[in-house]
Amino acid sequence: MSRVRIAVVGAGLIGRRHIDLVRRHPGCELVSVVDSDPAARERSGVPGYAELPDMLTSARPDAVVVASPNRCHAEHVLCCVEAGIPVLVEKPLADTVAAGAAMVATAEAEGVPLLVGHHRRHSPILAAAQDIVCRGELGRLVAVQGCALFYKPDDYFESGSWRSEPGGGPILINLIHDIDSLRALCGDVVSVQAITSSAVRRFAVEDTAALTLRFDSGVLGTFLLSDTAASSRSWEQTSREDAGYPSYAGEDCYLLAGTHGSLAIPTMRLQVFRGKRSWREPFRTTVVPAPEHDPLARQLDHFCAVVGGEARPLVDGREGLRTLRAARAVVEAARTGGLVTVG
């Protein structure tokens, strides 16, 4: 079977990870990199282009991974879709709901696969948690707590100034991953309340946020987010799925609670009542096994299968748009100080 010829747009932090994964994948061939930086193009070791249309005309890849800054996603995805080329775009789908909706509508009208890079959907940890929920081991879900607390160094912002500008804060860069994960576990988000602060970094975007969420399943949730908090309680630092981050055994970033038990994620500590349900009764505590695999690598496997017509997208444009709507609702709730319904 011939290898899938893939081009990557954007050679920043996440773009370089995609480039490395494509290089190492036995079923893929990296054919080009698109980036405005000549040095980034040269480092790739494959034909590089400053502009996406030039690359599509010359290299004509089988598929494209878009890992450019958020504000460029719509332009780059539409360029690929209009050329009839399947595309995997990094989250968020777009920086605005209107742009995301236009991308989805165009991809569907053209019949071109559009996948959104919510790679945690490919995580064995998340899959195991979904299985526990679906089997009813927790009873009826009633509540979820989550946090993404970590400290980004100054050079993170110096290497990409867009990250300190509107559309580039941790809500759209980081929290959107967690919103997607919680949607997979609890259902769609129907309303949110939020407060944000930029008191530490003084950027034009938030550095800290606190929010409450209501899901269509009736579950209520709370979440704390900060990219200036010296803490290890984030998915990256607890899941052990990315070797680029230190990991801390025993730490969790999510807690699901139902009428019969609770599950801490990613330690996968499951606590359920053995008989009578009462806070005076002890739980039976076990650890649910979950194999360790890199979800980004599994996402690339899936992308290749979609390109080859062997699978349907797990996270298609519409799924990405639902998550984007919820994330934008968080931004709006923080701006207005009120309850915002997710449209």
Question: What's the chain's average pLDDT?
Answer: 96
Residue type, 236: E
Rounded to an integer, the average pLDDT of 189-205 is 96
pLDDT of residue 39: 94
In percent, how much of the chain has pLDDT > 90? 95
Measuring CA to CA, which residue among 160, 126, 152, 157 is closest to residue 263? 126
Mean pLDDT, range 77-106, rounded to an integer: 97
Least confident of 116-120, 126-130, 157-161, 302-306: 157-161
Model confidence at 292: pLDDT above 90: no
> How confident is the model at residue 1, as a pLDDT?
56
Structure tokens at 255: 């807690």
Token pair in block for residue 126: 């998340």
pLDDT of residue 87: 98
- pLDDT at residue 176 in the model: 96
SS (H, E, C) the chain: CCCEEEEEECCCHHHHHHHHHHHHCCCEEEEEEECCCHHHHHHHCCCEECCHHHHHHHCCCCEEEECCCHHHHHHHHHHHHHCCCCEEEECCCCCCHHHHHHHHHHHHHHCCCEEEECHHHHCHHHHHHHHHHHCCCCCCEEEEEEEEECECCHHHHHCCHHHHCCCCCHHHHHHHHHHHHHHHHHCCEEEEEEEEECCCCCCCCCCEEEEEEEECCCCEEEEEEECECCCCCCHHHHCCCCCCCCCCCCCCCEEEEECCEEEEECCCEEEEECCCCCCCCCEEEEECCCCCCCHHHHHHHHHHHHHCCCCCCCCEHHHHHHHHHHHHHHHHHHHHCCCEECC
The pLDDT of 81-97, averaged and rounded, is 96
152 in Cβ contact with 227 (< 8 Å): yes
pLDDT at 293: 92
Taking only the tens place, the pLDDT of each residue in 204-256 is: 999 999 999 999 999 999 999 999 999 999 999 999 999 899 999 899 999 99
Query: Can you read off the two tokens belonging to residue 256?
Result: 């699901």
What is the tens place of the pLDDT at every residue in 128-175?
A: 999 999 999 999 999 999 999 999 999 999 988 889 998 789 999 999
Could you tell me the pTM of the whole model?
Answer: 0.94
What value does the mean pLDDT take over residues 65-88? 97
The predicted pLDDT at position 159 comes to 87
